[in-house]
Amino acid sequence: MSSLALVSTFCPDRVGLVSAVTGHLFGLGANLRDATFAVMGSGAEFSAVCELPDGVPVAEVQEGLASLPELAGAQIKVTPFDFDPNPGPLARITHRVEVSGGDQPGLIARLSEIFTQFEANIVRLDAQTLPEREGGRYVIRFAVSIPPERAGTCLSAVANTAETMGLICTTEAL
C-alpha cells in the first residue's frame, strides 16, 4: 500500500529545478498529486503531495533530493501527508480574480477579508511585483470558490474595494 508525503523544497532559482525534482520522484516510483512551483524573488519553491510506493520511506526521498546538484543549498523537507489527498467542495475553483496596480501595505489582507465575509475560499493565490519594463505593477491573482448565491455581491465588493484603492480588477467565472 502506498503512503502519502508532502515534498517541499526552497532554493535559489535556476534552470532545471522542476525537471530535476520531478525526475527524481518519478525514478523512485512516486506519483505526484497536487503540486506547485513558484519563483519568489531570486528563490524558488516547489511543493507536491506524492504517493510513495511501498518500501520508499520519506527519509529516502529527502536524502535523494538532497543529493541532486540542482538542489545544492536547498531547504528540503519531506514529511508524511496526513490529510485526505482528494480535494473537497471548497477547493472547486469557481472564479479567477486579478487585481493590479500600485503596491499598497495590507492589500492582500484587505482583499482576502472580503472573500471571508462572503464565505468564499481562496484555493490559489499568486502575487508578484512586475519589473519596471512591464509597468512596475503589483499583480495579485486569486483562484476562489465562491458560493453561487454570493458570487455577484462578493465579486462586486472586491471590484469596488480595488477601485477605491486605485487598482484594476478583472474577474472570470469558470
Domain ranges of the chain: 3-80, 95-173
pLDDT at position 174 is: 96
pLDDT at position 19 is: 98
The CATH superfamily assigned to 95-173 is: ACT domain (3.30.70.260)
Euclidean distance between CA atoms 12 and 117, whole angstroms: 37
Q: Is pLDDT of 135 > 70?
A: no
Residue 167 three-state SS: coil
Any alpha helices (H) in the chain, and if so which ranges? 17-28, 58-66, 107-117, 151-164
Q: Is pLDDT of 133 > 80?
A: no
Element (H, E) at 37: strand 31-40
pLDDT at position 130 is: 82
C-beta of residue 56 within 8 angstroms of C-beta of residue 28: yes
CA separation, residue 4 to residues 46, 74, 77 (Å): 16, 22, 14
| 1 confidence band (pLDDT: 50, 70, 90) | low
Domain formed by 3-80, architecture? 2-Layer Sandwich (3.30)
Q: What is the pLDDT of residues 97-109, one digit of tens each?
A: 999 998 888 999 9
Residue with the bigger pLDDT between 105 and 156: it is 156
| pTM metric for this prediction | 0.86
Residue 54 three-state SS: coil
pLDDT at position 137 is: 85
User: Do the domains spanning 3-80 and 95-173 agree at the CATH topology level?
Assistant: yes
In one-letter notation, the amino acid at residue 130 is L
Q: What is the pLDDT of residues 33-78, one digit of tens each?
A: 999 999 998 999 999 999 999 999 999 999 999 999 999 999 999 9
